């Protein structure tokens, strides 16, 4: 999950669980979390609208508790109940 802090780097929606490719060639990119379609990646739309990274970003490559701990705590294992 993203903290919402403006890092200057746009998120890659194609790595997000909420990103979809739509059937409409005029609006090929979609976000199920925010419920819209766009001509550009949804993260770009969000950045243009409010100037920060998307708060709904959820990396689809992180799918286990251990992977989440590694990503969030840079290798330090944190025992916590999920």
Q: In this structure, is residue 60 part of a structural domain?
A: yes
Q: What is the pLDDT of residues 41-77, one digit of tens each?
A: 999 999 999 888 889 988 888 766 666 666 666 544 4
pTM: 0.63
Cα separation, 40 vs 29, whole angstroms: 6
Cα separation, 57 vs 48, whole angstroms: 16
Q: In this structure, is residue 1 part of a structural domain?
A: no
Q: In this structure, is residue 75 part of a structural domain?
A: no
Domain region containing 38: 13-69
């Amino acid at each position: 999950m993203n903290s919402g802090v403006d890092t200057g780097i746009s998120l890659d929606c194609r790595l997000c669980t909420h990103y979809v490719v739509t059937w409409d060639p005029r609006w090929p990119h979609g976000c199920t979390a925010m419920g819209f379609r766009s001509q550009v990646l949804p993260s770009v739309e969000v950045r243009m609208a409010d100037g920060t990274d998307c708060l709904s970003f959820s990396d689809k490559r992180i799918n286990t508790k251990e992977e989440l701990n590694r990503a969030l705590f840079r290798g330090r294992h944190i025992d916590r109940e999920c």
